[in-house]
Structure 1
């Protein structure tokens, strides 16, 4: 069965909403959850997630809120952190990974942490039992793919196109899929531009999909109450999980 990974922005509109949404998503078929860590300059994210980052920070988000949410949900749904290196570094990266582990997180997704820098922190990841998710993109050369994926863990995050999240572009990914498959058996998940309309097509040839902006746009919808947001997002998650497994 193909897997569904959901991204949601932590603590917007507040951390209790994030907890309630996470648990509802688990019941709707989500296999792993990316807790988005708000940051002022989310370079890989489009305007929807960028706005949610800004609003969460405006509301006073702190890293401790991330750990709080994790402690409430991680025993029920596989929980990863998607964020940028700056706040992790300023927290103290070793301390951050230690606290992430004790809160129940299992992995990190850090778009601006190059593979060569990941090696510097390898001992910290191993010591704390935290997997750092590998990225590959349509522009990644085959020889670099081999290097990136040979020790990959949990899953590989394949970027669906060159650009930012949520823009919905499309590229032929057959070559990169074949290249990844040549060097590893680690599951390959596709992200960027995945929603209930595109998920079935994008899931062809891969082991799962990663959905972010399609969910976050409903979190940002001020015309909906908190319960309506959760209901709408959870319904979409269930629909996506069904479509990718038809």
Structure 2
């Protein structure tokens, strides 16, 4: 069974909605939830997620809201925090990682921290049994891939192309996947540009997919009611989970 990871922006359009959506996604085939931490300059994200980040901040999103959402959600669905390093660093990593463990959050995804810098926190994550998700990209050499995935935890986030999230750029990922799998038994999930149209192709040779912009596109449709947004996201999740396992 191949896994589906869903990204949603915490607190957009509001905290209670995020909780309801997260729980609905968990009932609709999503195996792991990425709770996005709104940031003013999300450099690795496409225009849709960037827009949702800005809207969440305009609506008053605070880190404390992420904690409140996580306390409701993490006991019921495998939960990760996805955000940029400054958001976490400001909370004091020595206190934050144990708190994540206490709440039940199982890992962090921090796209702007290079592997070498992430090693500074390796013991902190390990001691608290919280994963720091590793990234690999097509531009990485086999030697660098071997270095990055050596101690990879939970899953490896494989960047599906060199760019930002939300694009449907097509490429043959199988040779790249084969290279990664030479060096690790850790599951490899494909992210960036994955939606209901591309998921079946992108998951070939991988263990799962990570979907963000496709869900955020629904959340940004202001004509839809909260319930309609949840219904559409749930339907999308079911569709993608079926596609990647058919």
Runs of 5+ in structure 1 lacking a partner? none
User: What per-residue deviation string (whole Å, max 9, x for no partner) do you get for residues 85-143 of structure 1?
Assistant: 01111111222212222211000000011111111111211222210111011111000
2:126 maps to 126
* Mapped contact 1:85–1:113 kept (Cα < 8 A): yes
2:116 maps to 116
* Mapped contact 1:31–1:77 kept (Cα < 8 A): yes
* Mapped contact 1:67–1:99 kept (Cα < 8 A): no
1:176 maps to 176
**Partners in 2 of 1:141 and 1:123 — Cα distance?**
26
Is residue 83 of structure 1 aligned with residue 105 of structure 2?
no
**Partners in 2 of 1:170 and 1:108 — Cα distance?**
28
**Partners in 1 of 2:98 and 2:226 — Cα distance?**
32
* Mapped contact 1:11–1:17 kept (Cα < 8 A): yes
**Partners in 1 of 2:153 and 2:209 — Cα distance?**
16
1:233 maps to 233
Is residue 203 of structure 1 aligned with residue 203 of structure 2?
yes
2:188 maps to 188
* Mapped contact 1:159–1:190 kept (Cα < 8 A): yes
Classify the secondary structure of the residue corresponding to 1:108.
strand
Classify the secondary structure of the residue corresponding to 1:121.
helix
Is residue 73 of structure 1 aligned with residue 73 of structure 2?
yes
2:48 maps to 48
2:155 maps to 155
**Partners in 2 of 1:204 and 1:198 — Cα distance?**
11
> Larger deviation: 124-133 or 73-82?
124-133
1:219 maps to 219
* Mapped contact 1:150–1:183 kept (Cα < 8 A): yes
2:60 maps to 60
How far 1:172 sits from its partner (Å)?
2.0
TM-score using structure 1 length: 0.98
2:9 maps to 9
Runs of 5+ in structure 2 lacking a partner? none
Classify the secondary structure of the residue corresponding to 2:223.
coil
**Once superposed, what is the RMSD of the aligned Cα atoms?**
0.8
